[in-house]
Structures are given as structure tokens and as C-alpha cells.
Amino acid sequence: MSGERRDQAEQEVSIRRRGHELFVEEQAPKGPSRPFAEVLRETPAAPLSGLVKAALWAIAIVAALLFAAALWRLINRPNPKPPRRARPRASAKAPRAAATSVAPPAIALRPSTPTDQEPRG
């Protein structure tokens, strides 16, 4: 058993050593490699082309119009309609015959011959 414990201890040491080798990052240099002023001097100033400027202006105008329309709709909201009042139900005291005396709906009858044709016969 003592041999197994020694093997486990050696394995743990080996695992820790390999883990340290694999996962410990190398020290990165602190600070930029070149000063910002030097990088800025080397970067040329390239102005935007006329087509790109026109496209950006067009997008800005569309966005401004959409924003103005949203504000206008927010300010000029239509007044909500008041909720419809429910019809009063027939009271229990009213006679039943009065509630059922409503005439049945009339059924539209089709003419036997269409009106745009001459009668046969």
C-alpha cells in the first residue's frame, strides 16, 4: 500500500507540474509597444468620399423623420372611445312573452328567374 501512495504522490506532483506548464501564461509586456503619438503620426488621415457622406446624410434624415413621426404620434394620440354600455337585461319581473315577441329574421327569397334574363316560355 505504501507503494501505491508514493505513486499517487508522484502522479499528483507530475500533474501539478504539467498543469503549471500548460496553463500559466507568459508575462506580457506591460504598456504599449509604441507610444500613441507615434502611431497617430503614422496613421494617414483619409477623408470620407462624397458618396459615403451622402449616404450617411440620407440615413440621418430618414432617422430624424422617423423620430419626428414617432413623437407626433405620441403627442397627437386619438382619444380612446368610451366602452360601450351593455344592454340592460330583461328583468325577471317582465313577462316572458314580451321578451320572446321579437319577430324572427326575414329570410331573403331568391327570385325563380334571374332579373337580367328574359323569362322563358
Which of the pair, 111 or 76, is modelled with greater confidence?
76
Question: Quick one: pLDDT at residue 22?
Answer: 75
In total, how many domains does the chain have? 1
Helix-then-strand count for the chain, H and E: 4, 0
Question: What whole-number percentage of the chain has pLDDT above 70?
Answer: 60
Question: Quick one: pLDDT at residue 15?
Answer: 86
Residue 91 lies in a domain: no
Distance CA 112, CA 44 (A): 90
* Full residue range of the structural domain in which residue 65 is found: 47-73
Residue 66 lies in a domain: yes
Residue 27 lies in a domain: no
Question: Quick one: pLDDT at residue 81?
Answer: 77
Question: Quick one: pLDDT at residue 33?
Answer: 82
Q: What is the pTM of this model?
A: 0.35
